[in-house]
Structure 1
Amino acid sequence: MISRSPGNSLEPMGEETVIVGHSFRSSMALLRLAASAPEPLPRGMVLLATPFWGQEDWQAKYALPADFTLPPGLPVFLHHCRDDGTVPFEHLDSYERLLPDAVIRRHETGGHQFEERMDAVAGDMAALGS
């Protein structure tokens, strides 16, 4: 099951939930996770073009705590395209440093909307569903 709940809520959800977020929503899913990890944890997260707030001209009010870590056992996949004209590709490097347990997927092309890259995203979603 893929959950898309209104607002920034991660509740209610069950252990079969896969959180999929793009851009601002993906950063809000991480921020909500930092505030309080839900029980049970979702099956995993697949996040696309996630802004790293507090960097460069990106507002710090949405920044994750510096000591944020992923809950043990929560698989997280972070995808970003090098030619993204909205969220700088370097934001992915910041997430790689902050979240060393996350799986990082770098795509050369696809832009902010992941044109012709959704097969890779779908593959990660499918892996979480099995």
Structure 2
Amino acid sequence: MDELVGEWSSEASGLYHSAFEDESFAFGAGGDGWYQFSRPDYADIAYFRWRRTGHGRVELSWHTAREIFGGVVTDQPPERDPARLGYRIAVENTPLAGRVRMLRMEPAVGFAREFGLVSTQPAGTAKADKR
């Protein structure tokens, strides 16, 4: 299985105390995925197709985006330009969670660059996007 496949969360990184906000990525085995920035009563979600472009390189092509605020879902135009990212995956000792399988990305898509593995079976839709 591809090492990127899974659901990754900045909160699960073990690098920071529990936060008011979380950023999550999901990379599906079939090349689909999603990114979610969330905080209480708000979520910004973008769906993408992903593909490798080289060793430690991935491209995300955005196709659907929505914002959820106060329970109201608003479709948004997706980013037009693909995100071209470098990444590294390794098991690291973290100050708050011990050993964590970490995904480090550069540049950041939102605010976070570090994500801990939550599950190797990513959900097909973002957590806040359950309509």
The structure, 1 or 2, with the larger RCO (C-alpha pairs under 8 Å, 6+ apart) is 2
Q: TM-score, normalised by structure 1?
A: 0.26
Q: TM-score, normalised by structure 2?
A: 0.26
Give the structure with the larger helix fraction.
Answer: 1
Give the structure with the larger strand fraction.
Answer: 2
